[in-house]
Amino acid sequence: MAPITSAIHDQALAPVITHIDHVGIAVPDLDQAVDFYRRAFGVQVVHEEINEEQGVREAMLAVGDGFIQLLAPLRADSPIGRFLERQGPGIQQVAFGVDDVQDAARRLRAAGVRMLYEEAKTGTAGSLVNFAHPKDCGGVLIELVQAGGGH
Amino acid sequence: MAPITSAIHDQALAPVITHIDHVGIAVPDLDQAVDFYRRAFGVQVVHEEINEEQGVREAMLAVGDGFIQLLAPLRADSPIGRFLERQGPGIQQVAFGVDDVQDAARRLRAAGVRMLYEEAKTGTAGSLVNFAHPKDCGGVLIELVQAGGGH
């Protein structure tokens, strides 16, 4: 990212997020959803994984430099399972790319936003992630993603 | 976009969407939301407009090559007004860039997806847009955006 000279002097104006990394969509059946996005939008799976801790099976489909992330629950009491139970399938989160997830979390906390994790955790494909609390972000679950080597 | 030779022969595999253009977020108060995204994420408004027909006042904030679109209702009986009434503030839609919105709509209809408009309409900043029906897209309101000259 090119530095913006006028913003360098004002921490509050320095950009924190660099791009839209992905949109996360909760789906009841991962294979069915992947098939739909392939057929309708011509997008392809570039990464798939199971995260037992989060209780989720997920697929990343490339759209330009970003991704559609399809999220299916491994069990009903997982975050995605509860999301589906509460509001049905649909967009669950947006993820923004950051250069340094710890720096970005500090900046968000300074703006009064609670983060879900004290320290960043390993996310999709070896990335480092943290989440801003939706109650502090107008109802939006916002993930911060510092790229790993996995995509 | 570089053509993928193996996909050229199969219309069903040709990519329809080129990038994530924006994520649309319903907010009760546009100025307050703009201020929050500026302070917390360091993003700036690059376009603002009122669409009387849609009953919406909106701001586009640049994030890399994409945008956060903040949408505030001009009246309670507008689409965004009803969204806020029904489910509160949060992500309302995702918009994908397309080279040709009419071609993309044809492709989606062929995959069994209803479009909200018969013909594309003028969207933000002189773009041409159409929407895929959320009931045919797993609960996701998906906008297709063919860029205008306005951003």
Cα gap A136→A113, rounded to integer Å: 5
Cα gap B46→B61, rounded to integer Å: 6
Sign of the Cα pseudo-torsion (A4, A62, B107, A72, in order) = negative
CB contact under 8 A, B40 and A107: yes
Beta bridge partners of A122: A128
Quick one: pLDDT at residue A13? Answer: 60
Is the minimum CB–CB distance between A4 and chain B shorter than 8 Å? no
Q: How far is CA B92 from CA A9, A122, B100, B101, B114, in A?
A: 35, 28, 23, 20, 18
> Distance (Å) from the C-alpha of residue A50 to the closest C-alpha of chain B?
21
All residues of chain A having their beta carbon less than 8 Å from the beta carbon of residue B25 are 138, 140
Predicted confidence (pLDDT) per residue in A99-109, tens digit: 999 999 999 99
Residue of A nearest to B91 (CA): A140
What confidence tier does B124 reach under pLDDT thresholds 50, 70, 90? confident
Residue of B nearest to A86 (CA): B87
Average pLDDT of the residues in B70-78: 97
Quick one: pLDDT at residue A151? Answer: 43
Residue A150 has pLDDT above 60, yes or no: no
The partner residue sitting opposite A15, judged by closest CB among B19, B22, B42, is B42
All residues of chain A having their beta carbon less than 8 Å from the beta carbon of residue B111 are 36, 39-40
CB contact under 8 A, A33 and B140: no
Determine the 3-state secondary structure of B77 from DSSP. coil
The partner residue sitting opposite A40, judged by closest CB among B27, B36, B111, is B111
The partner residue sitting opposite A91, judged by closest CB among B15, B40, B94, is B94
As for the ipTM of the complex, it is 0.89
Identify the structural domains of chain A with CATH numbers, from first to last: 16-146 (3.10.180.10)
Average pLDDT of the residues in B5-19: 64
Is the minimum CB–CB distance between B149 and chain A shorter than 8 Å? no
All residues of chain B having their beta carbon less than 8 Å from the beta carbon of residue A96 are 41, 63
What confidence tier does B133 reach under pLDDT thresholds 50, 70, 90? very high
All residues of chain B having their beta carbon less than 8 Å from the beta carbon of residue A41 are 15-17, 96, 108
Quick one: pLDDT at residue B13? Answer: 60
Q: Strand A19-26 relative to strand A90-97: parallel, antiparallel, unpaired?
A: antiparallel
Predicted confidence (pLDDT) per residue in B22-67, tens digit: 999 999 999 999 999 999 999 999 999 999 989 999 999 999 999 9
Selected residue with higher pLDDT from A5 and B39: B39
Cα gap A90→A76, rounded to integer Å: 16
pTM for this model (two decimals): 0.90
Residue A1 has pLDDT above 70, yes or no: no
All residues of chain B having their beta carbon less than 8 Å from the beta carbon of residue A23 are 20, 23, 94
Sort A80 into a burial class: Cβ within 10 Å, 0-12 / 13-18 / 19+.
Answer: buried
Is the minimum CB–CB distance between B72 and chain A shorter than 8 Å? no
Q: What percentage of chain A exceeds 90 in pLDDT?
A: 83
Q: How far is CA A39 from CA A34, A36, B108, in A?
A: 9, 5, 9
Sheet holding B142-146, edge to edge: B45-51, B56-63, B66-73, B19-26, B90-97, B142-146, B128-132, B121-122
